[in-house]
Structure 1
């Protein structure tokens, strides 16, 4: 689940950046600059808060807000905000589509043109340009490293306007990682599969997300199957929690709980769920 931990750090960074921008809005600025600072700070904060249970703007909106902020300030008052030019390296480093990356590179070049006339000599202008290009290249290298994370975040399934679920492909990745982690830490992990008619999926998904813990993830494995990786201290706690969770889910559904083990096959268990006749099946050990 490394990608989720990285996403959490990314969102924390967005919230800290948004807070800083809003604090800067309290300092002496022209009215247009103050407005753009407030709007950009609120926009980045909205993206940073968007996780699982909260409505959110697309993740690619974060670099857009920061780019609009830098472009506006550097075009309106370059003398006062020349140091903000270096913020373009952060914009380029953020996860974003290729076309947006190209647009932001052009905007960075336009801002550099606005600032270059403030330098006293051609040599200083050239040095400023070279330093910015170097920082943009470093940001680009970082952005390429984050591209996998961005694709993973973008691949989440939206069943309801305020509800995001991870994909079945991500479940296969997380299943192996969580099995290894549970063995290493001595915790008790379970894979929960829930099958229901397609028209019942939104209500069931909402109840499932509400019943899981903040460090647990929910998935849409296919059109009729939801899934969750449940982590508990031991088997006794898992049993108690299992009963509570089942009581909170709206019918109709079929549930299958499988203890995490190296031999666990997601495809095999999903096929078994399709043939399952009992409403609930619990497999304490997967063999």
Structure 2
């Protein structure tokens, strides 16, 4: 699974970029050297934590960091680092939210203004036109990647090697498991966990470890997880649920609903996230 997501290749590219920046440090001005070391540190840190963070949402503030570092490198020594202005096309190619796109566009314009005194008029106009064309192509590519990734998330695991799936998969699995339970005479229920946003991914990993390999875990939104638990009887399901909740983070709110009480034809994601308040709700 790891090669499928090209994690090793991306890590190698990040390390190569760090080495390339390190070659610029000798004879660099003090300000430029400081920014170069910051950029190298960020690239190395990103390469180290890449296995898990690459599956996180696009809207996190980390997207501002490479843009700030790129502006800093150009501002520290425009005469040495002016060629980095072409890196903005690569920045715009990343799938990101509108606010991140707006930030990168503004930063690209600021960077262009920094290198303008080093160029004559026609050369600067050619630079702007070329950068604009590359930026439009990069944004088109980013939109394509967002659409492709959106369709992939509908059917693929969110983390390689773990039974963690998008919430839409739960809607499809409910009907399948209802049929299985009726045929085999077993009890099944949907367990919903509400956690803090920063606890979502560690809790998802823990939940995958505590459930059976044939039981999937689902990410419903940024603070909500769910799992389909199969047991021999309701009493066994309650016992499993208690043991599972004991290992969850503090202040985890849990709700559960028997699979036989769910009508799959009318089931929606919003209904799953808003189970009736009069059903059992535990806080650990």
TM-score, normalised by the number of residues in structure 2: 0.55
In structure 2, the residue matched to 1:272 is 260
Query: 2:58–2:97: 8 Å Cα contact kept in structure 1?
Result: no
Show the counterpart of 2:100. Answer: 100
Alignment of 1:73-152 (within 5 A): 73-119=73-119, 121-148=120-147
Q: Is this contact kept in 2: 1:60–1:95, CA < 8 A?
A: no
Separation of aligned partners in 2, 1:7 and 1:96: 22
Conserved? CA contact 2:192–2:227, under 8 Å:
no
CA contact (8 A) 1:63 1:94 kept: no
**Structure 1 spans left out of the alignment, 5+ residues:** 156-162, 176-192, 229-241, 243-248, 255-269, 276-287
Structure 2 CA distance for aligned equivalents of residues 96 and 74 of structure 1: 23
Contact 2:163 2:216 in 1 (8 A): no
Is the contact between residue 220 and residue 226 of structure 2 (CA under 8 Å) also seen in structure 1? yes
Q: What is the 5 A alignment of 1:116-195?
A: 116-119=116-119, 121-148=120-147, 165-172=164-171, 195=190
Counterpart Cα distance in 2 of 1:19 and 1:174: 41
**Correspondence list, 1:167-246, <5 A:** 167-172=166-171, 195-196=190-191, 198=193, 206-209=206-209, 218-220=217-219, 225-227=226-228
Structure 2 CA distance for partners of 1:6 and 1:135, relative to 1, 3 Å: farther
Number of equivalences: 212
> Which residue of the partner structure matches residue 240 of structure 2?
252
Q: In the alignment, does 2:17 pair up with 1:18?
A: no
Name the structure 2 match of 1:190. Answer: none
The answer to whether the 8 Å contact 2:94/2:142 transfers is: yes
Contact 1:7/1:149 (<8 A) preserved: no
Please tell me whether the aligned partners of residues 85 and 112 of structure 2 are also in contact (alpha carbons under 8 angstroms): yes
Unaligned runs of 5+ in 2: 155-161, 175-187, 195-199, 231-236, 243-257, 264-284
Residue number in structure 2 paired with 1:8: 5
Write the deviation string for residues 12-64 of structure 1: whole angstroms up to 9, x where unpaired. 56534421232124314132133222233135335633259x9x797645542
Q: How large is the RMSD of aligned CA atoms in angstroms? A: 5.1
Q: Deviations over 1:216-274 (max 9, x none)?
A: 9742469784159xxxxxxxxxxxxx9xxxxxx995159xxxxxxxxxxxxxxx73387
In structure 1, the partner of 2:23 is: 27
Cα pair distance change 1:271/1:204, threshold 3 Å: same
Q: Does 1:42 align with 2:39?
A: no
